[in-house]
Structure 1
Amino acid sequence: MFMRKSKMSLIFQAAIDVFSEKGFDKATMDDIAARANVAKGTIYYHFKSKEELFLFLVEEGVEVLRDGVESKLMPELSPTEKLELIVREQINFFGQYRDFCVILLRETWGGEERQLEFRKMIRSYMYLIEQVIQQGIEAGEFHPVNAENAGSGIFGMIAISALHILLGQNAYDEEALFQDMKRMVFSGVVK
């Protein structure tokens, strides 16, 4: 999938598969080890617990999302073009990494500790959106809104819409979802 350390890529992919299929609570380290075709001790060598493995998986995924979007946000783009790019890239990411999207959005609202960790991880990505919103406000392209609220709202709107499609019976049509999200984001943000 999107592992940076190839040594653990089997464990990482197995964890994504198992968490996606069974959910965090029903998944076991035995399930993940069997899916990865490694000894359970190999997993425990890298991760102290299922929770630690789960949080690592989420952190890696969010980092890939953020890095992918950030690498395309060229300074010469207008704030409106940057925001459009963010909307498209997030939709494409969720389409490309469907199982990760399901895990991220379905499972991260578990215990209080997990919620706090998740918010820290996703904050770096939402900060990118906030910066673009702030640039748009300063350039006079966007209405004056609270950039933090707008950033989390845009992320959430896209994420929940993607999850709804991924968990439903409809095909994940990235272009149709992009057009709908773009229309909603720009009708409320762009002058």
Structure 2
Amino acid sequence: MPRRAAHEPGTRGPEATRRRILEAAIEVFAEKGYHETAVDDIVRASDTSKGAVYFHFPNKQGIFAVLVNELTKMLAQRVERSIAREQGAVAKMDAALSTVMDIFTRHRKLSRILFVEVLGAGRSCDRKLIDIHARFAQIIRRHLDEAVADGSIPPIDTEMAAYAWFGAINEIVTRWLYAEKPQPLTTVTPELRALLLRSVGVSPEYQSHINQSPEAIDDGF
């Protein structure tokens, strides 16, 4: 979510307080982990009060669930914007991959929440995790279907391919998050890109004509 000065004039209403709590929660959950985080930690980090936190959220799990929802929504919006600038189904898929890897590289704490802390955060979060996977797999599948329709790739099981793509991205990002001295995810993007595009039948010659560098944009995080 957008990072704004929490104490600027005009930012002291309920919505500003809610935003400050969620921004603090990102820092605390990413640093301490979901299970080791207490509501009091978020209260201190957000410079609010326990009453303010419970006014906006029922409990720690409620804060985490809202945070996951909002982060997922913003990431999906950013991916869709990057896709909208491209022409052709394959170029759109490529833009989505580049954008996701770029955002995760620049926002490691957000990545940790979506890929690590959400695991084991409770049954409701397990359900949300399935929904997150399905949401992004559906974005991938939609453009795979378009690529099949326009002849850019041969007929394939686009649902299976979409989940395979998401699974590969998930594994790469998770391994990166656990690395002691991680390199930027963007360093592996070209190889991952080539592997994924080749897996659905995009030729190396076609790949070479696609712009691999997403425009520098304000992603809103």
Tell me the TM-score normalised to structure 2 length.
Answer: 0.78
Match for 1:57: what amino acid?
L
Give CA deviations for 1:140-168 in whole Å, capped at 9, x if unaligned: 22233322222222223123212312321
Q: Indicate the residue corresponding to 2:199 in structure 1.
A: 188
- How many angstroms apart in 2 are the aligned matches of 1:168 and 1:77? 36
> What is the aligned counterpart of 1:50 among 39, 53, 60?
60
1:185 CA displacement: 0.4
Out of 99-108 and 174-183, give the one that drifted further: 174-183
Distance 1:12 1:81, change over 3 A: same
Out of 39-48 and 110-119, give the one that drifted further: 110-119
Map 1:143-182 → 2, pairs under 5 A: 143-182=154-193
Out of 19-28 and 105-114, give the one that drifted further: 105-114
Question: 1:28 touches 1:50 (CA, 8 Å); kept in 2?
Answer: yes
- How many angstroms apart in 2 are the aligned matches of 1:112 and 1:18? 21
- How many angstroms apart in 1 are the aligned matches of 2:81 and 2:193? 20
- SS of the aligned residue for 1:16 comes to helix
Match for 2:130: what amino acid?
R
- How many angstroms apart in 1 are the aligned matches of 2:70 and 2:158? 25
- How many angstroms apart in 2 are the aligned matches of 1:121 and 1:101? 13
- How many angstroms apart in 1 are the aligned matches of 2:199 and 2:132? 27
- How many angstroms apart in 2 are the aligned matches of 1:3 and 1:152? 32
Question: 1:91 touches 1:178 (CA, 8 Å); kept in 2?
Answer: yes
Out of 29-38 and 158-167, give the one that drifted further: 158-167
Tell me the TM-score normalised to structure 1 length.
Answer: 0.89
Q: Indicate the residue corresponding to 1:125 in structure 2.
A: 136
- How many angstroms apart in 2 are the aligned matches of 1:96 and 1:175? 10
Q: What is the RMSD computed on CA atoms of the aligned residues?
A: 2.1
Q: Indicate the residue corresponding to 1:112 in structure 2.
A: 123
Structure 1: 5+ residue runs without aligned partners? none
- How many angstroms apart in 2 are the aligned matches of 1:148 and 1:52? 32
- SS of the aligned residue for 2:188 comes to helix
> What is the aligned counterpart of 2:82 among 45, 57, 72?
72
Q: Indicate the residue corresponding to 2:113 in structure 1.
A: 103
1:61 CA displacement: 0.7
Q: Indicate the residue corresponding to 1:12 in structure 2.
A: 22
Q: Indicate the residue corresponding to 2:96 in structure 1.
A: 86
- SS of the aligned residue for 1:73 comes to helix
Give CA deviations for 1:17-67 in whole Å, capped at 9, x if unaligned: 111111111111001111111101111111111111111111111111110
Identity across aligned pairs (percent)?
A: 24
- How many angstroms apart in 1 are the aligned matches of 2:155 and 2:119? 31
Out of 125-134 and 59-68, give the one that drifted further: 125-134
Higher helix share: 1
Match for 1:60: what amino acid?
E
- How many angstroms apart in 1 are the aligned matches of 2:39 and 2:153? 48
- How many angstroms apart in 1 are the aligned matches of 2:138 and 2:3? 23
- How many angstroms apart in 2 are the aligned matches of 1:180 and 1:76? 21
Match for 2:90: what amino acid?
T
Structure 2: 5+ residue runs without aligned partners? 5-14, 203-221
Query: Whose Rg is larger?
Result: 2
Distance 1:46 1:122, change over 3 A: farther
- SS of the aligned residue for 2:83 comes to coil
Number of aligned positions between the proteins: 191
Question: 1:2 touches 1:61 (CA, 8 Å); kept in 2?
Answer: no
